[in-house]
Amino acid sequence: MPTLAYLLLGSNLGNRQETLRTAVAQLHATAGPVVAQSSLYETAAWGLTDQPAFLNQAVAVATSLPPDALLAACQRVEQQAGRTREIRWGARTLDVDILLYGQEIIDTPTLQVPHPRLSERRFALVPLVEIAPEVVHPGVGRTVADLLAVCEDVLGVERRVS
C-alpha gyration radius of the chain: 14
The gap from C-alpha 114 to its chain's centroid, in whole angstroms, comes to 11
Catalytic, 97? Answer yes
In angstroms, rounded to a whole number, what is the distance separating the alpha carbons of residues 3 and 77?
20
Catalytic, 146? Answer no
Catalytic residue selected from 83, 146, 153, 160: 83
Catalytic, 95? Answer yes
Catalytic residue selected from 21, 76, 85, 95: 95
Residue 119 is given by DSSP the state G
Catalytic, 16? Answer no
The gap from C-alpha 84 to its chain's centroid, in whole angstroms, comes to 17
- Could you tell me the maximum CA-CA distance found in the chain, to the nearest angstrom? 43
Q: Please report, to the nearest 10 degrees, the dihedral formed by the alpha carbons of residues 127, 103, 119, 76 taken in order.
A: -60
Q: Provide the annotated active-site residues.
A: 83, 92, 95, 97
